[in-house]
Structure 1
Amino acid sequence: MKKIAIILSVILLFIFSCSKTDNNEKSSISINLGPEPKTIDPTLNSLNMASCYIHHAFEGLTKIDSNNNVKAGMAESWNISDDGLTYTFNIRRNAKWSDGKPVTAKDFEYSWKRAVDPNTAAEYSYMMEVVKNAKEINSGTMDYNNLAVKAVNDYTFQVELANPAAYFLEFIASTGVFFPVRKDIIEKYGDEWTLKPETYIGNGSYKMKERVPDEKIVFEINTNYYDKNEQTAKEINFVLMSDPNTAIAGIRGGTIDFSALEPPSAEIETLKNDGYIVGNNAIGTYYIELNITNKAFEDKRVRQALSLAIDRNYIVSNVTKGGQVPAGAFVPTEVRGLETTFRKENKEYIDVNNYEANVQKAKALMAEAGYPDGQNYPVIELKVSPGIYVLVGEALQQMWKENLNVNVSLVQEEFPITLQSLLEKDYQMARMGWTGDYNDPMTMLDVMLSYSGVNHTGFNNENYDSLILTAKESADNNVRMKSMAEAENILMEEMPIIPLYYRADSFIKNPKLKGVVLNPLGRHKFNYAYIEE
């Protein structure tokens, strides 16, 4: 009996030890990035938060590490020609898709050409113009198969750039349009391929485990990933919701660990005091996008007046309260310039600290445009997303009424719905934000190219396009920066967008959640995250 008791004790100790190890290793976290994403196809996505899903399930030739530095991804090494135009990437031999098939250079060739194929209609196709022939393909003068990329063999991928681009390795690490996708999967399942775990085949550190529309997207570690043992979170449950108050309740109640929804300004101070707020400097700008093909905004004096009549200091101090900086231009404060930052080296076009003078100028501009004291100016509609944007919209509504006697109707709707209206130019004004894909002024300014898929304003200026092209084609950084400064000057003169504030994020987080990697480009990673007991 004694022998049996000893054996039983050993068995129980073994079971307990295994159970304890499992509990220690278990790391399932719940993350809220917003409502149901429009798409999580790397080629088709243009929304910043949707990029977070994609960056867990897919990986480019390079990737961003936990210190936000560029390192080897699917390519274990690369060579750059002396003229900076030709990049030869060596695909790692142990790179695999989540279904176990090898990742090859042919996957990258297919994916990059898919991005510029007119039939794909990718909003981010213009970003491919860093690659030779992409601009001609996008303009319709060249077949997409002529994109200057090729699989030399299964493990060698060669790219020829249109012009030298110092940011290229960071660009392809951050931007989903450069990630590989599987030709056989897309050809078999079409637009439905992203909707089920069985068909959402990626090459990143995680794979889809479950998807319930408008409820959740669950990821688990991709056991075929070459670096699978370095992933901390065993499961990431992306909870789909758009109401920040519900998210706050979930975090306080322990059912959610992190929310990217901007907290209501009235709650920020309390949340900070309770340790639920974490901040992050970002490369981005929030603005109002104007449909300048609409009669109400055809006159740029009206657009300028609407911009000048906004008290940006009031908005960031009393409405958003998240550490944002009033925006007097489009390129944000964190973006590099020649020696310091682009913003320090170039003027702010709107004097945000001279509000009274701005209002007087705004009134004069409206009168010049034929609308003295707002007479005969139509009621205009502003689309805003739920949460803090409603409060921002209400502040704008009041300022435009008080200063210009302009009446504004607010329409509250989920941003994916607004985005569809923007694409169809079936709108007047809408709140918008842009977060950069790399740290260079170009990441902001080429958004407003006449043929950009994310320029929804109808802004089409030959001089602007020409200056941006000059900046893209020049290897001389002095020429580049000068051209981009002149382009921004045109943008602020024509005012198809109204900058409000430079982005600074406040996230709601469980204090016990550790290891979240916040990225200034908005590509936040949760693979190193865990709950500290």
Structure 2
Amino acid sequence: MKRKLLLILSFALMIFVLSCGKNKTDEGAIYINVGPEPKTIDPALNSTVDGSIYIQHAFEGLATRDKDNKIVGGVAESWDISEDGLTYTFHIRDNAKWSDGKKVTAEDFVYAWQRAVDPITACEYAYQLEPVLNAMDINSGKKEVSELGVKAIDENTLEVKLNAPTAYFLELVAFPTFYPIRKDIIEENGDNWTLSPETYIGNGPFVMTERRTDDRLIMSKNTNYWNASSIVPEKLVFILMQNGTAAVAGIKEGSIHFANNPPLQDIENLKSEGLMHISPYLGTYYYCLNITNEALKDERVRKALTLAIDRNYLTEQVTRGGQLPASAWVPSGVSDIDNADFREVGGNYYSIKAEDYQKNLEEAKKLMEEAGYTNGEGFPVIEFKSNSGEHIQIFEAVQQMWKEGLGIDSTISQEEWATFQDTRQHKNFVIARHGWIADYNDPMSFLGVFLSYSVQNNGGYSNKAYDDKLKLAMSTIDQNIRMKAMHEAEDILMNDMALIPIYFYTDPIMISKKLSGVVFDPLGSHKFFYAKLAK
């Protein structure tokens, strides 16, 4: 027995040493952790911030964002816009190449955009192409993909026809859904094209050189990128894990240089040690409500659940990352007319003052009583679904508030990240944690989520008046008309209480003192194009 035990221990030690050798830190590479194994890194199919970070390092759109997060030319060196705002003509760079050396052409964009709106593709972000002529009719099966308003005039010229003038169209073409894709790669490899460095062919600053499922995704500088001389790091190693404790240890020992989602209990210590950066973030953390659920069909119940949450307690005692209690759907920092703040103009839909919480709670109790659930009697047990991590800690506090304030019981169900995304998408939940980060700085990036036909509308909310207000906002570039319509749309959404806003995001990031040059993006897609490590 002793001999067998010694053999087992020796074998285990050998495996450990080999494992350590395999994962040894590559000196000079930047080690990054922004999430676990992604569900997908296909630009048309991804719907997560972590996925978009990987994608934007391997691909580039017609436009991109510079070091100041301003829209500049990407694959397109310039563009022309017709006087009526309905036609965009993009001029593609002669030296724009794919990572395998082939030239990027206008047809690559035609194929990618047609693929995104094709209902067979099941692209969650297909609605982003709504401004493009015929996009939504194609996505709903009413027209053929060939009728999409995009055409290759020649190899270097792409013409785009819009349904209506769209104030934020250049912001859209910088987003991953609008990135080019290689038709030959997709047709030969199908959905597996993203799984191997040999087939994950992009046109961006970096190229995938290694991929180990549930372990790491490695990218090296793409020498065929048109602007390769501006790219600083030679190698990026994305560590694929969702383990905050391990990330903290990695930051402290130097094996990880950048990581998000720090454990809530570690934030204050990380701040004091100079290992924490709080980045601005245009986003709202919220609870997604399954409107098709019998108990949640009553808007009085939805409003009661919203009012019974003490958001100041959550942000001050639980999250502690500088988040702001949310009083609406569209967060602070989103632009309104003349650079005003949309949230400041729109105001609050309920009080978020600490001293008003008891008043909110009394109103919540009255609403529950009117709905027939005095002191929670007869109300079903609510199941809350989430992936693991800090989301569970946050809900445990909310769970207590609902129990003590309204007499409501709830349970918690945890799922792996990829599984949880499917759960929300297929409405297999009563209440689910959610968060939305802007894809571009315009209220439409938030309000469009709750259009009745949006695939991102996970709770199933539908209101024709809401849809009509947003259609008006999408049909003009007159900012006065647009903003008025979007404020009125938010009024409808919040009066229906189609969701429970919790807080407006900040982005607490763990970062090594050796790392500099990271471009922090308020949209969450941080860039490492110019990042470097001090020796």
Q: Distance in 2 between matches of 1:296 and 1:221?
A: 53
1:435 aligns with 437
Q: Secondary structure at the match of 2:327?
A: coil
Cα deviation, residue 282, structure 1: 1.1
Residue matched to 1:39: 40
Q: 8 Å contact 1:126–1:135 — kept in the other structure?
A: yes
Whole-Å separation in 1 of the counterparts to 2:254 and 2:135: 48
Which whole-Å deviations, capped at 9, do the CAs of 1:465-493 have from their partners, x for residues lacking one?
11111110122211111111111111111
CA distance in 2, matches of 1:49, 1:491: 28
Q: 1:280 Cα shift?
A: 0.8
Q: Which residue of 2 aligns with 1:189?
A: 189
Letter in 2 for 1:104: T
Q: Which amino acid in structure 2 is aligned with residue 448 of structure 1?
A: F
Residue 99 of structure 2 corresponds to 98
- The corresponding residue for 2:129 is 128
Q: Which residue number corresponds to residue 309 of structure 1?
A: 308
Q: 1:199 matched to which residue of 2?
A: 199
Q: Which moved more, 1:138-147 or 1:85-94?
A: 138-147
Residue 483 of structure 1 is aligned with which of 485, 490, 494? 485
- Does residue 444 of structure 2 align to residue 445 of structure 1? no
1:369 paired with 2:371, answer: yes
Asked if structure 1 preserves the Cα contact closer than 8 Å seen for 2:128 and 2:172, the reply is no
- Distance in 2 of aligned mates of 1:258 and 1:385: 22
The amino acid of 2:121's aligned partner reads: T
Quote the residue 2:295 is aligned against: 296
TM-score in terms of structure 1 length:
0.94
| Distance in structure 1 (CA, Å) of the matches to 2:284 and 2:91 | 36
Q: How does 1:360-399 map to 2 (within 5 A)?
A: 360-399=362-401
8 A contact 1:296–1:380 mirrored in 2:
no
- How far, CA to CA, are the matches of 2:85 and 2:389 in structure 1? 46
| Contact persistence 2:218–2:236 (CA under 8 A) | yes
Q: Give, in angstroms, the shift of residue 198 of structure 1.
A: 0.2
Query: How far off is 1:296 after superposition?
Result: 2.2
**Structure 1: tracts of 5 or more residues without a match:** 1-24
- The superposition leaves residues 121-156 of structure 1 with CA deviations (integer Å, 9 ceiling, x where unpaired) of 100000000212112223332222211000001110
Alpha carbons of structure 1 residues 305 and 482: separation in structure 2 relative to 1, 3 Å:
same
Tell me if structure 1 keeps the 8 A contact 2:91–2:156.
yes
Amino acid at match of 2:141: G
Q: Matched residues in 1 for 2:363 and 2:49: separation?
A: 35
Deviation at 1:453, TM superposition (A): 1.1
Which residue identity lines up with residue 134 of structure 2 in the other structure? N
Deviations 1:270-321 (A, max 9, x none): 1011011011111110100011111121111111100000001111111111
Q: Return the alpha-carbon distance in structure 2 between the equivalents of residues 350 and 327 of structure 1.
A: 9
2:71 partner amino acid: V
- Corresponding residue of 1:513: 515
Q: In the comparison of the two structures, how many residue pairs are matched?
A: 507
Deviant stretches of 4+, over 3 Å: none
Amino acid at match of 1:306: L
What pairs with 1:110-509 in structure 2 (closer than 5 Å)?
Answer: 110-173=111-174, 175-261=175-261, 263-339=262-338, 340-353=340-353, 354-509=356-511
Deviates more, 1:82-91 or 1:50-59: 82-91
> CA offset at residue 26 of structure 1?
6.9
CA distance in 2, matches of 1:66, 1:80: 25
Partners in 2 of 1:414 and 1:293 — Cα distance?
A: 24
Pairwise CA distance, 1:72:
1.0
CA distance in 2, matches of 1:333, 1:32: 27
On the 8 A contact 1:243/1:386 being kept in 2, the answer is: no
Residue 425 of structure 1 and its aligned partner are, at CA, apart by: 1.1
Superposed CA deviations along residues 12-67 of structure 1, whole A, max 9, x for unmatched, are xxxxxxxxxxxxx9731100011011100001111112100000000000110111
| SS of residue in 2 equivalent to 1:204 | coil
Q: How big is the shift at 1:117?
A: 0.5
**Structure 2: segments with no counterpart, 5+ residues:** 1-25
1:530 and 2:529 aligned: no
Partners of 1:79 and 1:87 within 8 A in 2: yes
TM-score (norm 2): 0.93
Give the equivalent residue in structure 2 for 1:78: 79
Helix, strand or coil for the counterpart of 2:456? coil
Question: By how many angstroms is 1:414 displaced?
Answer: 2.8
Identical-residue share of aligned pairs (%): 50
Structural RMSD (CA): 1.2
Secondary structure of 2:284's match?
A: strand
Q: Conserved in 2, the CA contact under 8 Å of 1:384 and 1:393?
A: no
2:56 match: 55
SS in 2 for 1:141: coil
SS of 1:130's equivalent? coil
Q: Is the 8 A contact 2:119 2:140 kept in 1?
A: no
Counterpart in the other structure of 1:16? none
The answer (yes or no) to whether the contact 2:117–2:136 under 8 Å persists in 1 is: no
* One-letter code aligned to 2:53: C
- The CA distance in 1 between the partners of 2:51 and 2:196, in whole Å, is 16
